Chains A and B, each alone.
Chain A
Amino acid sequence: MSPRYGARLGVLRVAVVVMLGVLLGRLWYLQISGQGAYQEAAIANSVRQVVVPGERGRILDAAGRPLVANRSALVVTVDRIALQRQPDSGRAVLRRLARVLHVRYDELRRRTTLCGPGAEPPCWNGSPYQPIPVAERADAAVALAIEERAEDFPGVSVEVSSVRDYPRPAGALAAHLLGYVAPISSAELARLPRARQDLRRNDVVGRAGLEQSYQPVLAGRDGVRRVAVDAVGAVTGTVDETPPSPGDDLVTSIDARVQRVLEDALGRGIGKARARGEPATTAAGVVLDARTGHVVAMASYPAYRPEVFVGGISTVDYRAVTDPAADVPLLNRAVQGEYAPGSSFKPISVSGVVTEGTASFDGRYSCPGSVTLGDRVFRNFEGTALGTLDLHTALVKSCDTVFYGFAQHDWYADEARIRHGDQPAEAAQRMARAYGLGSDTGVDLPAESSGQIDDRASKLERWQRYLRPNACAGAKRRAVGDPLRRLDRENCVDGWRFRLGDQANFDIGQGTVLVTPLQLAAAYAALVNGGTVYSPRVGKTVMAPDGHVVRRLSCPVRGRLPVPAQVRKDIVSALYDVPRWGTAAGAFAGFPLDRIHVGGKTGTAQAGIDAKHDTSWFASFAGRPGEQPQFVTVVAIPKGGQGARAAAPAVRAVWAGIYGVGKQRAAIPRLLRRSQ
């Protein structure tokens, strides 16, 4: 015992006790006071959420043939975190990967850089924890090369993911109808609750067509798998898993074979029109089930290959499908194209004048070559005079001057009402609206155009908003003597007036009347189905993946035509004569009209300075003889020339395809046999 060291050892003793005390205190602080936070940090460290996408539902035609399905694609992904744990921040791995994928290292590096200040596109906009897809369409050899040498590619994995596939049953493309899917945008993400954003970053969303309007139905519910990972990001096991559930299938009323027939008819119609020297480059067509309002086929020309959108569209492809010089192939002209209907509008005018009592199918009217209304001469089509005729013949032969007479009557009556301080009746406009024109049909397709039905109020409004500012400025700017200066001055002062000429043009579907092919088809369907104006539907049934029906989609009724049954019957009976001895007789020469009862109305709408820009229309219906028509087909070919020459033959081809004429097999078999 050396007591003399006792006191000095005391210093050491105190130091030791203090040191151990500090350690114990700190340990208590970390493990007992702060335990929760550190446990969370440990979980965040070692548990990654992996989104397991739920497969998107398919889109089927009426017979169950898939128009859009899914197929597996091999996607190469890179985990940023695992890359960064590499001694060289993953540079060597990316270089090796670039060699295997046959892309440039720079491109790969950019794609795996988080977007932010200084990051060049295409940078990664998604969650830093989500593996970044770097090759969406990898082939099996590449996948094998990566999987076999996993130790050379830490953080790189090949995943099987599901992408859209277009089987084209019966050769039907239906690109516009189907639409496409694209990755969720950052704006859409921003609208989601913050907690869900990370999980939704890899979502695809319907961007057009049925994919867009049925997004909630088609989208699968994503599953979440929580996996344990080690320090280099390698998965060591699954912590828990919410399995994904696939989206529902959408069964449409589209008949793939009719769709193919319509698409071919449009393409051939354009070809023939161009062969005649017409400048036609676009076309649109719709086939409706007249009795239910469902869409059987819908096509727009030019079309595009929907495959260009799979796995993200390239800039070049996107420019191509939106190129105005190529007529913007992405546009669905059947619902987004607005054209003046020309004479195909006449059944609607007739509905108005006969219902109002202005005219009658028993009356006889003169059809001169031209009529002078106010200070303007309105010519009959190509100036033909047909003498005196009844309304039936006026429709069959499409006499314009008869309708000018009705327009004159209506217009003067309305002007008188205005002078007496009453509201104008504008009966023709009202009838057009009752047919569903001038407003959205409400079809289950996005971005529909609503067309235009002009009356005094709407013309005034348009003048105030657009015409007056432009015209008045033009009148000031233009030199004296410029012929347009007079026009501008007139519009500046008087452009709001709804003139007699406006009403005359309206009654024959010219001028400011604009309709979409779908609107006109729905109007004709109402005419022939007993007067029900439907909001057309492409979707028919929502079907769960196990095949049970979740929901049936019927077409909502927009309204009933305020047209007496007899009047509708008289109009329809006139339209049945159009292909027989009327304006479409040439187009339907040799067609078995006795077997397939076809009616319709041609339209040649002036859309520009000369006949070269006329929109060619044929609105038609067909069915078994002696029965209500089954289908309505409308085809519009802008710059296609006369309705009888471009659109009517195209519609004939559709009917021939649906019912089977000559050697052609019926697209819908037994349509005609069932009645016998």
Chain B
Amino acid sequence: MSTLADGLLAVSGRQSLRQRTLERDSAVRRFDWLLLGSALVLCAVGALLIWSATRGAAAVRGTSPTAYLRRDVVNIGVGALLGAVVALAGSRALRRVAPWVYALACLGLVVVLTPLGSTINGSHSWIVLGGGVEVQPAEIAKVALVLGMALLLGEWRATPDRPGHLEVIVVLLLAGLPLGLVLLQPDLGTSLVFIFVVIGVLVVSGAPRRWVAGLVLAGAIGCVGVAQLHLLQDYQIQRFTAFVHPGADPRGFGYNATQARITVGSGGVFGTGLFQGPQTNGRFVPEQRTDFIFTVAGEELGFAGGATIILLLGLVLWRGLRIAARAPDPFGAMVAAGVVCWFAFQTFENIGMTVGIMPITGLPLPFLSYGGSAMFANLVAVGMLESVALSSPR
């Protein structure tokens, strides 16, 4: 192949593809292969874990044991395609579509609140499009928030270096709309992601420290206030109680937390082996293929597997931070920082609730949890990072 291509290029009198590819500043060399590789490895591991978590129930119901595996692989494929499109479109295109994505996400979040939305697991977060396709606008909103903030803080600001008070207020208004809509669902987990992304991106953008401190304070007061004013749903309070007092009702609302911890804890160093976990096969952990996918890794792959997954996620975050640091412009840096904040918080919250150091909220683990919208959003986010990487000078 390559000889033929080389020959053709040589005839045309231009540099060979091989030479161009290997050139220091080529797209192939600027592309972050390590980021893509670790993301795809995580997706593959996730597919295996989803398979393990869903085999048993399928056997009981008499459905195909690989049904979820196959759908996850399709999700990965579609997500990778979307990610590739985003990566290749370049950051200029991203800037252009950012307002539209933001508008689409907000529209989706509004539609979810209308009777067109569906409730799954106490959260009114889905739009069922029919034919088994469900869209979670909150996932699109994460992309939209990152792009929107990057656009505001990276492009349209008055002062060249740091955002001023005006920019911060505009950013807060921009983030406040989807945040409010998400809170109405109610989807506490996604709102926390939003808050973390907003604070993180503002820090990186160099926003005035008073604003950052004020926001952190407001967030804390908000959390207490929400609890005091009984704005939380009962199940949210119970989840929090279960987190503070895990033994309070091990068969009731503390069940998830207790079982998740038992499942992870029983894995030991090397785990029981894939498909061999009694806790997983006995389906003791609810929502195991989605929010609690990490328990499968904990039980069946042990500390070795669990730590590898955390390190792979760390690799993704490290590459994201590296891309942010090398971004050619503030927009790229803000996009990369936003994605890192998003992934970092979601990873910490998801694995954290699985191992009992964070209260339970419905957040998927990036790349690993089953779910189309989340998978698409994650891989699109990887595409966004790659597009920044591609636009960066070596």
Binding site for B on A (CB under 8 A): 1-2, 4-6, 8-9, 11-13, 15-16, 19-20, 22-24, 26-28, 30-32, 34-35, 37-39, 41-43, 45-47, 84, 228-232, 234, 236
B25 on the A face (CB < 8 A): no
- Segment among B73-81, B347-355, B369-377 that sits at the interface with chain A: B347-355
At the interface, yes or no: B118 with Cβ under 8 Å from chain A? no
- The distance in angstroms between the C-alpha atoms of A45 and B282, with both chains bound, is 9
Question: Is the beta-carbon distance between B325 and A31 smaller than 8 angstroms?
Answer: no
Could you show 30 A-B contacts with beta carbons less than 8 Å apart? A2-B325, A2-B327, A2-B329, A5-B204, A5-B330, A5-B333, A8-B204, A12-B344, A16-B321, A16-B344, A19-B344, A20-B317, A22-B357, A23-B310, A24-B310, A26-B355, A27-B264, A27-B310, A28-B303, A30-B298, A31-B265, A31-B302, A32-B269, A35-B266, A37-B265, A38-B265, A39-B265, A39-B268, A84-B251, A230-B284
Q: Which residue of A lies closest to B328 (CB)?
A: A2
Verify A5–B282 contact, CB threshold 8 A. Answer: no
Picked from A12, A41, A229, the residue with its CB within 8 Å of the CB of B321 is A12
**Contact assessment for B279 and A45 in the assembled complex, using a CB-CB cutoff below 8 Å:** yes
Q: B69 at interface (Cβ–Cβ under 8 A)?
A: no
Contact A42–B327 (Cβ < 8 Å):
no
* B281 contacts partner chain A, Cβ-Cβ < 8 Å: yes
> A5, B327: Cβ atoms under 8 Å?
yes
Tell me, rounded to whole Å, the shortest Cβ–Cβ distance linking B338 to chain A.
10
Beta-carbon contacts under 8 Å, B185-207 to A = 200, 203-206
Query: Complex Cα distance A37/B266, Å?
Result: 8
In the bound complex, do residue A8 and residue B203 qualify as a contact, i.e. CB atoms below 8 Å apart?
yes
Q: Are A9 and B393 in contact (CB under 8 A)?
A: no
Instruction: Flag whether B127 is at the interface (Cβ < 8 A).
Output: no
A20 close to B314 (CB less than 8 A): yes
> B206 to chain A: which residues have CB within 8 Å?
4, 8
Give bound CA distance, A90 to B326, whole Å: 60
B258's nearest neighbour on chain A, judged by CB, is: A41
Q: Assuming A8-B206, A27-B351, A46-B282, what are 7 further A-B pairs, CB within 8 angstroms?
A: A2-B330, A12-B321, A20-B317, A20-B347, A22-B352, A22-B357, A26-B357
Q: Count B-side interface residues using an 8 Å CB cutoff.
A: 59
Bound-state CA distance A32–B324 (Å) is: 36
Within 8 A of A (CB), among B258-284: 259, 261-269, 278-279, 281-284
The 8 Å CB contact of B204, one of A1, A9, A16, A39, is: A9
Q: Is A27 in contact with B307, judged by CB distance below 8 angstroms?
A: yes
Q: Does B242 contact A (CB under 8 A)?
A: no
0/1 interface trace, chain B 221-256, chain A, CB 8 Å (1 if under)? 000000000000000000000000000000100000
Whether B283 pairs with A230 at a CB distance below 8 angstroms is yes
Whether the pair B281, A236 counts as a contact (CB closer than 8 A) is yes
Q: A41 vs B333: C-alpha distance in the bound complex, in angstroms?
A: 47
Query: With the chains together, A25 CA to B259 CA distance in Å?
Result: 20
CA distance A362 to B333 in the complex (A): 135
CB pair A31 B264 closer than 8 Å = yes
Cβ of B155: which chain A residues have Cβ within 8 Å of it? none
A36 to chain B, nearest CB (A): 9
Give min CB distance, A219 to chain B, whole Å. Answer: 34
Q: Is B326 in contact with A1, judged by CB distance below 8 angstroms? A: yes
Report the Cα distance A8→B321, complex, angstroms: 11
Interface bits B69-102 vs A (CB < 8 Å: 1, else 0): 0000000000000000000000000000000000
Nearest Cβ in chain B — how far from A112, in angstroms? 16
**Shortest Cβ distance from residue B282 to the other chain A in the assembled complex, whole angstroms:** 4
Residues of chain B with a CB closer than 8 A to A234's CB? 60
Q: How far is the CB of A82 from chain B (nearest CB, A)?
A: 12
Any A CB within 8 A of the CB of B161: yes
* The 8 A-B residue pairs with the shortest CB-CB distance in the complex, in nearest-first order: A38-B265, A42-B266, A230-B282, A31-B303, A19-B348, A30-B265, A39-B266, A41-B262
Q: Give CA–CA (A27, B357) in the complex, Å.
A: 10
Contacts of B328 in A (CB 8 A): 1-2
A46: B residues at CB distance < 8 A: 278-279, 282, 284
Residues of B within 8 A of A13 (CB): 321
